[in-house]
A and B are shown apart, each in its own frame.
Chain A
Amino acid sequence: MTPAPPLSTPVRPRWLSVVGLLGFVAMGFTVWLGLWITPPDEVQGNLARLLYIHPPIATVALYWAGGVALAGSLLYLWPRTRSFFWDRLAAAAVEVGAVFSALTLVTGSLWGRPVWGVWWTWDARLTSTALLLLLELGYLALRRVPADPAIRARRCAVAAILIAIDVPIVHFSVDWWQTLHQGGTILDPGFALHVHGSMLWTMGIGFLAFTLIFVWLLGVRYRVEVLQDEVGDQELEVSLAERWSEDTALAGVGGPAGSGASAGSGPFDAGSPS
């Protein structure tokens, strides 16, 4: 028996495992500092502890995931840099970004209920963030539509650019429309800090933790995307070859395919295998 052939791409790069481990440790510190070490806020009391995770999650969803998706899509569309690497990276970023966008809405809602008195309101920041999540889900749905890989990649790149258009809208929504959501949590428009002392560095570790976790998730999701393409293409070729050989054999013995009864009747029409 011959050994299984090696996979075409590195299975688990060591740097990614290190990033995941560091992210796990940093997350542990964030929870420890955020829930037990930092003092309650003067105004919000213990509810301010949610701000050690909500802004970092929103930052990942908006800037890191949105940035990677946009960069990957533009680099795919640009002829000189066109490669499926960029398409797959963008797809991985959008899926991970959708998880973080959903968490942004959930943690924001859990903070908004006791502070604002409502779970949800049609505030500009909340609405544009919900739109971001919907656009990301639309991208993921578009990616599942069967198509030639190059056509799918081009469609998805355009969809990712539409997602990216929403990112500055989310960012500037608190400045453009005076609705319920407050302005910058950490910096005001003049770049003056709103957070100090142990609260500041706890939030900083939170940003680091969620960023590292994002990079790890992105790496694993990218690997899944590569494998899906490899195995999916292989399975399609095997199915087509099997269908071809079946129809050829039937035609050889004068079966139904030979009489034209089944020609063009299946999803992989033997008459047009490409």
Chain B
Amino acid sequence: MSYVDAGYVAALGVLFIYGVSLVLRRRRWERAARASGAAPAPTDGVVPGSHP
């Protein structure tokens, strides 16, 4: 494998794996949120500046 091939494989491979891991994390947290009936996160939707 040449340096060029290695560079493309490293860049695209890492981004692909990171992207897939993020999607899986998002799904896991969405399932957890539905299961727990999570309330909105603190200050979501709050007018900026109103937080202490």
- Report which A residues bind B (CB closer than 8 A): 4-5, 7-9, 11, 27, 31, 34-35, 46-47, 49-50, 53-54, 57, 75, 79-86, 99, 102-103, 106-107, 110-111, 113-114, 149-150, 213, 216-217, 220-221, 223-224, 226-231, 233-235, 238
Given the interface pairs A99-B15, A220-B26, A233-B42, the reply to whether A114 lies near B51 with Cβ below 8 Å is no
A35 touching B48 by the CB < 8 A rule? no
State A112–B30 Cα separation when bound (angstroms).
43
B19 touching A234 by the CB < 8 A rule? no
Given the interface pairs A106-B10, A220-B22, the reply to whether A8 lies near B4 with Cβ below 8 Å is no
A11, A81, A84: the one within 8 Å of B41 (CB): A84
Top 8 A-B pairs ranked by shortest CB distance? Answer: A227-B29, A8-B40, A229-B41, A230-B38, A83-B48, A4-B34, A234-B38, A110-B7
Nearest-Cβ distance from residue A13 to partner chain B, whole angstroms: 12
List of A residues within 8 angstroms of B19 by Cβ: 213, 216-217, 220
Given the interface pairs A7-B30, A111-B7, A220-B23, the reply to whether A79 lies near B49 with Cβ below 8 Å is yes
B10 touching A81 by the CB < 8 A rule? no
B49 touching A103 by the CB < 8 A rule? no
Nearest-Cβ distance from residue A124 to partner chain B, whole angstroms: 22
Nearest-Cβ distance from residue B51 to partner chain A, whole angstroms: 5
A213 touching B15 by the CB < 8 A rule? yes
List of A residues within 8 angstroms of B25 by Cβ: 224
In the complex, what residue of chain A is closest to B34 when comparing beta carbons? A4
A103 touching B36 by the CB < 8 A rule? no
Given the interface pairs A82-B51, A234-B39, the reply to whether A9 lies near B8 with Cβ below 8 Å is no
State A84–B48 Cα separation when bound (angstroms).
9
State A235–B25 Cα separation when bound (angstroms).
17
State A5–B36 Cα separation when bound (angstroms).
9
Instruction: Name the prevailing secondary structure of the B interface residues.
Output: helix
State A220–B22 Cα separation when bound (angstroms).
7
B15 touching A82 by the CB < 8 A rule? no
Given the interface pairs A83-B48, A84-B43, the reply to whether A231 lies near B38 with Cβ below 8 Å is yes
A46 touching B8 by the CB < 8 A rule? no
A53 touching B49 by the CB < 8 A rule? no
A9, A35, A106, A217: the one within 8 Å of B22 (CB): A217
List of A residues within 8 angstroms of B41 by Cβ: 8-9, 84, 226, 229-230, 233
A111 touching B22 by the CB < 8 A rule? no
State A151–B52 Cα separation when bound (angstroms).
11
In the complex, what residue of chain A is closest to B5 when comparing beta carbons? A35
Nearest-Cβ distance from residue B14 to partner chain A, whole angstroms: 6
State A35–B19 Cα separation when bound (angstroms).
23
Given the interface pairs A4-B37, A7-B34, A217-B19, the reply to whether A50 lies near B4 with Cβ below 8 Å is yes
B18 touching A227 by the CB < 8 A rule? no
B18 touching A27 by the CB < 8 A rule? no
State A27–B25 Cα separation when bound (angstroms).
24
List of B residues within 8 angstroms of A224 by Cβ: 22, 25-26, 29
